[in-house]
């Protein structure tokens, strides 16, 4: 399903012209499609339905309260990595009893907060963390449910900065340490080992890393049970592919095909932590061209969305399709080839950094001052990574539903920039 389509020469989100939203709410503007969010959550739930999975949307991908509420209403749960994300889940009115808490650096205060919220389990990343969870749980006369995060040393073939399941990453533990800590849990009355957790990286465009991880999980679960654990959860994390270019990501059914046999054999509950694949293509960033300039043999399109809004191109060399909202040339099937009637340009922001760009050498139709551009696949790891760098207020967010829409985060003002400071 494509929530963003060109009709009658202009871009629509569902049944709303994107240009109308930019007129009303200004730019930079984040626009989300409710139908697309529901569609993606439904697609992953259905692909794995045979084992009644617990789908924990990864709040880090986009934690806007309205998005969390929408997903909670669909029956989705949440994967969090901080007390702040747990607070967001609570404030969205969502249930917390199926929340999973990952991350390498949980503080005692965050552990206590999560135990008070009665979450489903902690994904534990180290012995020190296990000891801290045990101590906090003991002080509250509680038993903390945990899964140990295994680093399976599987190459998910992602960008070096987004691979997490290879030896040498800061995440998880190797199998020897995993077995040691599992034995330690068995002798600790404050802890209960619910399952095994892995997250391999993101975005993963092939299914073989998941197949290897599922097989590993089956082997580990059998071993744990033989040693007396009641382990009955396998959590294979997130990282499912997103089509940034076209249709390069496999459907969820392909991932399910390699994962499900192991879950059935293990007779375990399955948890998944998808973020990007649920919200990535449900959002765009709309920006306005401020100036164009030709310098050094290049065309620069300077627009009001910078690396402070969408840092992914600068941080991960990521590719986002970019096209005008009211284009002189219809959008191409392939954004990476030469496009007739177009010219290569660097699409840059106003930030004082050479690394401040949304795209380089990108074929674009003629654009001029005042034109609107859409940067696609910006729903995941967009707003959540925004900063105030260069004292730029954060943009507004709008959620579209059919021909209706509503503001789900107002544009910040200059006063917001200094609201927490004291002189």
Ligand X SMILES: Cc1ncc(COP(=O)(O)O)c(C=O)c1O
Would you say 352 and 390 are in contact if contact means Cβ atoms under 8 Å apart? yes
Lookup: tokens for 7:
């009709």
Lookup: tokens for 139:
């002080």
Minimum distance between the CB of residue 60 and ligand X, rounded to whole angstroms?
6
End-to-end, the C-alpha distance of the chain in Å comes to: 51
Would you say 313 and 320 are in contact if contact means Cβ atoms under 8 Å apart? yes
Backbone dihedral angles phi then psi of residue 213, each to the nearest 5 degrees: -65, -40
Q: In the range 322-351, which residues lie near ligand X by CB under 6 A?
A: none
Q: In the range 107-166, which residues lie near ligand X by CB under 6 A?
A: 164
Give the residue, chosen from 11, 31, 102, 373, that forms a contact with ligand X under the rule CB under 6 A.
Answer: 102
Nearest to ligand X of 117, 242 (CB atom): 242
Residue 277 engages ligand X in binding (rule: CB under 6 A): yes
Minimum distance between the CB of residue 210 and ligand X, rounded to whole angstroms?
12
Residue 61 engages ligand X in binding (rule: CB under 6 A): yes
Residue 238 engages ligand X in binding (rule: CB under 6 A): yes
Q: How many residues bind ligand X (CB under 6 A)?
A: 18
Q: Helical H runs in 199-294?
A: 208-226, 252-266, 276-279
Single out the catalytic residue among 13, 56, 279, 352: 352
Nearest to ligand X of 190, 202 (CB atom): 202
Minimum distance between the CB of residue 121 and ligand X, rounded to whole angstroms?
13
Minimum distance between the CB of residue 143 and ligand X, rounded to whole angstroms?
23
What angle, rounded to 10 degrees, do the helices at 175-186 and 127-139 form? 20
Nearest to ligand X of 203, 209 (CB atom): 203
Residue 276 engages ligand X in binding (rule: CB under 6 A): yes
Residues 6+ apart with CB under 8 A from 222: 266
Give the residue, chosen from 28, 172, 237, 382, that forms a contact with ligand X under the rule CB under 6 A.
Answer: 237
Q: In the range 374-413, which residues lie near ligand X by CB under 6 A?
A: 380
Torsion of CA 299, 22, 318, 306, to 10 degrees: 60
Residue 275 engages ligand X in binding (rule: CB under 6 A): yes
Backbone dihedral angles phi then psi of residue 240, each to the nearest 5 degrees: -60, 145
Residue 79 engages ligand X in binding (rule: CB under 6 A): yes
Residue 202 engages ligand X in binding (rule: CB under 6 A): yes
Residue 45 engages ligand X in binding (rule: CB under 6 A): no
Which stretch of DSSP H or E encloses residue 299?
strand 298-303
Spatial separation of the C-alpha atoms in residues 290 and 22, rounded to whole Å: 14
Residues 6+ apart with CB under 8 A from 304: 27, 28, 287, 288, 290, 349, 350
Minimum distance between the CB of residue 111 and ligand X, rounded to whole angstroms?
17
Active site annotation includes 262: no
Residue 273 engages ligand X in binding (rule: CB under 6 A): yes
Give the residue, chosen from 88, 98, 199, 362, that forms a contact with ligand X under the rule CB under 6 A.
Answer: 199
The partner residues of 197 in beta bridges, in order of sequence, read 149, 235
Minimum distance between the CB of residue 379 and ligand X, rounded to whole angstroms?
11
Residues with catalytic function: 352
Residues that bind ligand X (CB under 6 A): 58, 61, 79, 102, 164, 199, 202-203, 237-240, 273-277, 380
């Amino acid at each position: 399903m494509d929530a963003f389509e060109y009709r009658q020469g202009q871009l629509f989100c569902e049944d709303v012209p994107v240009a109308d939203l930019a007129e009303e709410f200004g730019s930079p503007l984040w626009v989300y499609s409710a139908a697309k969010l529901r569609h993606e959550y439904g697609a992953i739930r259905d692909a794995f339905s045979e084992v009644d999975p617990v789908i924990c949307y990864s709040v880090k991908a986009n934690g806007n309260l309205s998005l969390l509420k929408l997903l909670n209403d669909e029956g989705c749960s949440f994967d969090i990595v901080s007390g702040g994300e747990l607070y967001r889940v609570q404030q969205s009115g969502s249930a917390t009893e199926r929340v999973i808490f990952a991350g390498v650096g949980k503080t005692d205060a965050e552990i206590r907060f999560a135990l008070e919220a009665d979450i489903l389990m902690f994904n534990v990343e180290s012995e020190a963390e296990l000891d801290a969870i045990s101590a906090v749980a003991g002080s509250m006369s509680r038993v903390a449910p945990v899964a140990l995060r295994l680093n399976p040393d599987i190459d998910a073939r992602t960008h070096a900065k987004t691979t997490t399941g290879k030896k040498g990453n800061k995440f998880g533990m190797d199998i020897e340490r995993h077995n040691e800590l599992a034995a330690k849990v068995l002798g600790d009355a404050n802890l209960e080992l619910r399952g095994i957790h892995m997250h391999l990286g993101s975005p993963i465009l092939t299914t073989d890393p998941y197949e290897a991880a599922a097989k590993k999980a089956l082997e580990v679960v059998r071993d744990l049970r033989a040693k007396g654990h009641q382990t009955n959860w396998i959590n294979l994390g997130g990282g499912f592919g997103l089509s940034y270019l076209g249709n390069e990501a496999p459907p969820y059914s392909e991932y399910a095909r390699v994962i499900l046999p192991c879950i059935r054999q293990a007779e375990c509950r399955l948890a998944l932590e998808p973020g990007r694949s649920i919200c990535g293509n449900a959002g765009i960033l709309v920006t306005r061209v401020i100036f164009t300039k030709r310098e050094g043999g290049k065309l620069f399109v300077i627009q009001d969305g910078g690396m402070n809004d969408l840092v992914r191109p600068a941080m991960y060399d990521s590719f986002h399709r970019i096209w005008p909202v009211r284009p002189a040339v219809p959008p191409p099937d392939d954004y990476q080839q030469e496009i007739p009637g177009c010219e290569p340009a660097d699409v840059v922001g106003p930030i004082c950094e050479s690394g401040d760009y949304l795209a380089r050498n990108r074929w674009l139709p003629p654009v001029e001052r005042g034109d609107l551009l859409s940067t696609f696949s910006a729903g995941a790891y967009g707003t959540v990574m925004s900063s105030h760098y260069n004292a730029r207020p954060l943009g507004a967010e709008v959620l579209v539903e059919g021909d209706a829409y509503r503001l789900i985060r107002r544009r910040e003002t200059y006063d917001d920039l200094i609201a927490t400071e004291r002189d």
